[in-house]
Amino acid sequence: MHYISTRGDSRNSIQRTFTEILLGGLAPDGGLYLPESYLQITRVELDRWRGLSYADLAFAVLSKFIDDIPPADLAALVGKTYTAEVYCNGRAGSLASDIAPIRWLEPGLALLELSNGPTLAFKDMAMQLLGNLFEYVLAKKGEEVNILGATSGDTGSAAEYAMRGKHGLRVFMLSPHDRMSAFQRAQMYSLQDANIYNIAVRGMFDDAQDIVKAVSNDLAFKEKYRIGAVNSINWARVAAQVVYYFKGYLAVTKSSDEQVDFAVPSGNFGNICAGHIARMMGLPIGRLVMATNENDVLDEFFRTGVYRPRSTAETRTTSSPSMDISKASNFERFVFDLVGRDPALIRQLWTKIDAGGSFDLSGMPCFADLPSFGFVSGKSTHADRLRTIRQTFEKYGVMVDTHTADGLKVALEMRMPERSMVVLETALPAKFEETIIEALGRQPERPARFVGIENLPQRVKVMDVSVDEVKRYIAHQIDVRS
């Protein structure tokens, strides 16, 4: 199994194995990695997978992407990741041993619960695996890596809970000072593990993101201090997410002849890109229903063929903040498949994007092929979100978070009779208390282990928006401890 870059030249293309790309982000040519082909799943195989535990299913699916870790080791890593202790203490009422259980709202409409992990968002599903894979590969190579990232909330906490206490790994996570919810701050800053460093910058998320980019662009610094990333373009994160589409499909069907639709609250397009890949592998997914919030750059593309990333100034702060994106970093993977895997065309399109421009595929034959990729899209606003949270609670007695509400809102518009629709639950309502109170006039339930978390002592270094100050801090912490 080889990986190629979306911007690679087919004659001298970069071919890498899974563990070679595991610790990296972008390919050297600026593209994103994808398998050179998608291994197909047969109906017989799919039927054999019915009834497997999540860990065994994950091993079966991930074996289609990873062939340079011995199977016994991969099985052990996956087994250690997807355990009931890690994923089943999220909330009361979850099936005690089922990881990513299905919750039926009514016949034909279900939520796939992906948010019962350590930080109450679906990002744990992939990030926990990444933590164990990193530790394993670094130990084999006798190397260390220092993860540098910026977060507006969910990614940072998922990364820290996945990497805490791991050998050979440190995490330096930048967040915007005083801009996350008290709960999100407490989740990250109360971690006392020596390998976790929280840096709060006196600025916005974009300032934090710019510092990360500046540090990563200093190649000498990056090499000397072995700086790595776990951002959403990391291939292993996408691969880990392919698994739960198989899990959801098998859980709501009796036969592998049935088709299922999936609705996905989307931001950086990582989650739904995994659904696209599952479908390309032959999982009988009918449609992939993509939901955006007010930041509707992706909805606009699927409706019009125009992809026009927004400026930071145009990007709105909404009540589903984890979907507040200006450009969708994983989208390039899908467009690569849509245009028939033509890297020259991708280079041409993204030259425009990287220069702050846009592109329009509406006149191209590939845009007419879009329906064969199963995508449909819609958007949801603050008012839709509040209404969906309220109606879901009244009708089904189920409290959904603001992002899941966006997915559910669009799912209800797109639903077809005779076909099950599975909405991916991307976070628990406890993470977004303020909007839940606005919608329902009551506090969401908080898992016992987070009660009073705001009162725990916090470890965070507050800094100005300064690349040099951040570099000095990172260098000092690494030099002191090695």
Ligand X SMILES: *Cc1c(COP(=O)(O)O)cnc(C)c1O
- Give the rounded distance of the alpha carbon of 112 from its chain centre: 15
Q: What is the DSSP letter of 17?
A: -
Task: Spot the catalytic one: 64, 80, 123, 140.
Answer: 123
By C-beta, is 232 or 380 nearer to ligand X?
Answer: 232
By CB under 6 A, residue 269 contacts ligand X: yes
Is 319 among the residues that bind ligand X (CB under 6 A)? no
**Nearest approach, Cβ of 290 to ligand X (angstroms)?**
9
Please pick, from the candidates 113, 135, 154, 332, the single residue that binds ligand X as defined by CB under 6 A: 154
Could you say whether residue 380 binds ligand X (CB under 6 A)?
A: no
Q: Which residue stretch of 26-34, 141-149, 260-268, 439-447 sits at the interface with ligand X (rule: CB under 6 A)?
A: 260-268
Site for ligand X in 40-69 (CB under 6 A): none
Between residues 32 and 121, which has the closer beta carbon with respect to ligand X?
A: 121
The angle at the Cα of 231, spanning 229 to 236, to the nearest 5 degrees, equals 90
382-396 and 402-414 helices cross at what angle (nearest 10)?
80
Scanning 218-226, 266-274, 367-375, 441-449 for contacts with ligand X by CB under 6 A, the matching segment is 266-274
Q: Of 9-17, 167-175, 268-276, 415-423, which segment contacts ligand X by CB under 6 A?
A: 268-276
Alpha-helical segments (H) within 53-122:
54-62, 71-81, 84-87
Number of amino acids touching ligand X (CB under 6 A)? 16
Answer yes or no: are the C-beta atoms of 430 and 153 closer than 8 Å.
Answer: no
b/e sequence 271-283, b meaning 16+ C-beta within 10 Å: bbbbbbbbbbbbb
Q: Is 427 in the site for ligand X (CB under 6 A)?
A: yes
Piece of the chain touching ligand X by CB under 6 A; list 251-259, 261-269, 364-372, 459-467: 261-269
Q: How far is the CB of 281 from ligand X (least distance, A)?
A: 19
- Enumerate the H helices of 253-368 as residue ranges: 270-280, 297-304, 331-338, 343-354, 365-368
Cβ closest to ligand X, residue 234 vs residue 268: 268
Residue closer to ligand X by CB (options 5, 115) is: 115
Nearer to ligand X by Cβ, of 121 and 386: the residue is 121
> Which H or E run contains 121?
none
3-class secondary-structure state, position 9: coil
268 touching ligand X, by CB under 6 A: yes
Q: How far apart are CA 123 and CA 159, in angstroms?
A: 8
123 among known catalytic residues? yes
Residues 6+ apart with CB under 8 A from 319: 382, 385, 402, 432, 434, 435, 438
Cβ 368 to ligand X, closest distance in Å? 25
Residue 31 or 267: which CB sits closer to ligand X? 267
Nearest to 174, CA basis, from 141, 190, 197: 197
CA-CA distances (angstroms) from residue 303 to 298, 338, 385? 9, 15, 21
**Rounded Cα gap, residues 154 and 81, in angstroms:** 19
According to CB under 6 A, which one of 7, 64, 123, 409 is a site residue for ligand X? 123
At 227, phi and psi to the nearest 5? -85, 130
Candidate ranges 15-23, 70-78, 99-107, 269-277; the one touching ligand X (CB under 6 A): 269-277
Cβ closest to ligand X, residue 197 vs residue 269:
269
Query: Applying CB under 6 A, which residues contact ligand X?
Result: 121, 123, 154, 232, 265-271, 322-323, 403, 426-427
Q: Annotated active-site positions, please?
A: 123
